[in-house]
Every structure is written in structure tokens, then in C-alpha cells.
Amino acid sequence: MPKPKSIPLVPIPTSCFDENHLPSVLHQPNPMTPEAERQARRRTCRFIEEAGGQRCLRLPRVAIATATVFFHRFYAKHAFQEHDRFEVAMACLLLAGKTEESPKKLDLVIRECWKLRRKAQQQQNKLVSSGGDSPNVGGMSPNNIMSSPSSSTGGDLQMKPDEFKRLKERVLLLERVILHTIGFELSIDHPFKFLIDCAQGLSKKRLLEYNPTKKAKLVGKDGQPLGKQQQNNQLVQELAQNAISFANDSLHTSLCLQFGAQQIAMACVYLSGTHAGIGPIAGKTWLDLLEGIGVEELTSISVQILELVQSNRRGVDSGQFRAIRKDLDAMMM
């Protein structure tokens, strides 16, 4: 299969995606390792999530997800060494706000993102001066918080007028570069709708159930065991909530470059179920219930999400992870 000349309008097949051939890894004279490339993506995705969240720009969740996909697609064709990743993140947030009908003024985007970076640097400077360990604030390592040439080392959170003007021009230019890079493909499918539909459909058909250990622990406020309808209501709620959490985690990886939104959604439903003690009814397997995904795709997506969550130490029981990996290995046999 010939190598595509531009970002395709459909996800890159797994067989065509190779992180060893990403622009940042091949860049000369200072190539990044695949691990460093992954970390740069994860840290900047965390920055996008925080900048777009309720404490800063207050963008809807779908706009933050769209900005993240724009970011991943941009750096599938450009190297991190060529463009400041936080300025690209600003441009992605600006463009995603317009795309998802939640536009934010350019001045607001720049100021909120700038303050987020400056606060992170100030916290790091305080720890360094006090002899403490360097933090990882907002998913950003100290060595990557203020890598832009425009960054100053002053203690305040305000930019000089001329500096603000130059940054504003760069972000506007990057917005146009991003548009050309993604082929003006602004309609982005996300896993959220697919996983909600899947969870509700499986619950309605009564194709899922709690395992015996989990079922024995299901009691109401009165201490009495839950009835079948109450169990089913709790099952679909728990399944959907956990799946959404895994889908949010997936945005911090390059999965959106490798698989379609529906495939990622199906893997998130699988991870949610196995994590919550939910499984198919007797005589059925997860592969029987999940539409549009095979065992290889399910395994690849699940493993990449699990590796991310484990690296973040999000408090998930490692024993559960081992059980999920064992289940995935059994599927592959």
C-alpha cells in the first residue's frame, strides 16, 4: 500500500501506522525516540484538557476532544521540533471551538493558555529553589513547560504587548497550517456516542450481567439485595461511566490515528465491563456482543489504553489489569 501524501479522511489502518516513522522520530539532526514522542503527545493533550476545562476556557467536552484529534493529526505530518507544541495546542483549541459551535476569542484563548503555562513554571521554580523534586504539573514535565522562544522568565502572569502581538500572529498562522494539514476535514467522530449506544443496547437486550462476586455486593440503601431492574439500571450506568473515562484516556494516545471512533468505543465498553465486574451472559463472549471490531483491534486498543492508565497511576488495581491482559491473551489464542 503506497504511503498517503496527506492526512487521510479515514483513520490510518493499523498495519500502516508505525510510530518509528512519525516525523518527530525521523527528524534530523535531532530525532526524538518513540517514547519521547509519546510523552510529548500525552503531556500536551493534558495541557489541552486543562486549558479547555472549566477552570480556563470552559469548552464543552466534545470541543476539547476535537482539539485533541486536531493536535494528533497535525503531528502525524509535522515534527515537534518544527513547531512549538503549546502554540499548536492553542491553535487547536481555537479551531475546535469554532468547529463545535463554541467559539472563544483569540485573546481569551492565548491569555488562559499562557497563564496555565506560567503558573506551572512558577510552581516548578519554587520547588527547584527549595531543593524539592521537579514536578509534573498538568501532565507537563519541567523541561517542556516553557519551551517557546516567546516565554519570559518573569514572575508575573502578564505578557508584554509586543510579545502578545507576536504570539497572536503565530497562533493565527498555525490555525491555517492545521487546516491545510488535516485537509480541512473538520467533522470529527468521537467514541462517546457509540459507547453510550452500545451500553444501552446491550443492557436493553439483557446480554450483560454482573459476575457472581460483584452481584453479591449489590445492595440498596436499605441493605437489601437489588432487584433485577435495579441491577440492570446500575449496570448500564456503571458501564457507560467507566467507558467514557477510558475514552477520555484514549485521547491522550495516538489511537485516533490508528482506529475508527466506533472501534475505540467498543474497546472502551470492553474495558469498562471487565473493570467493573460486568460480562456477557452465559453462552456469549465479548466478541459476540461488540460490533465492528475484531480480536486484534480490541487487543491493540485495550493494551494502549491500559499502558497509559498504568503510567499515570490512576489508582486502578493492578490485579484487574493483569486479569484484563490475561483475558485478552486468551482471546488471541
Q: Is the pLDDT reported for residue 314 higher than 70?
A: no
In the 8-state DSSP scheme, what is residue 224? S
Contact 106, 93 (CB under 8 A): no
Percentage of the chain surpassing pLDDT 90?
61
**pTM of the predicted protein model:** 0.83
Using CA atoms, how far apart are residues 61 and 64, in angstroms rounded to an integer?
Answer: 5
pLDDT, mean of residues 301-321: 79
Q: pLDDT: is 133 or 37 the higher one?
A: 37
Using CA atoms, how far apart are residues 107 and 47, in angstroms rounded to an integer?
Answer: 18
Contact 306, 271 (CB under 8 A): yes
Using CA atoms, how far apart are residues 112 and 52, in angstroms rounded to an integer?
Answer: 9
Q: What share of the chain is helix, strand, coil (3-state, %, to 5)?
A: 60, 5, 35
What is the tens place of the pLDDT at every residue in 215-269? 767 767 767 777 778 888 889 999 999 999 999 999 999 999 999 999 999 999 9
Neighbours of 245 (CB within 10 A): 17
User: What is the predicted pLDDT for the residue at 329?
Assistant: 84
User: What is the predicted pLDDT for the residue at 136?
Assistant: 45
User: What is the predicted pLDDT for the residue at 313?
Assistant: 59
Contact 95, 181 (CB under 8 A): no
Using CA atoms, how far apart are residues 296 and 266, in angstroms rounded to an integer?
Answer: 13
Under the banding of pLDDT at 50, 70 and 90, the label for residue 214 is confident
What is the tens place of the pLDDT at every residue in 33-78? 999 999 999 999 999 999 999 999 999 999 999 999 999 999 999 9
- 94 φ/ψ sector (left φ>0, alpha ψ -120 to 50, else beta): alpha
Average per-residue pLDDT for the chain: 84
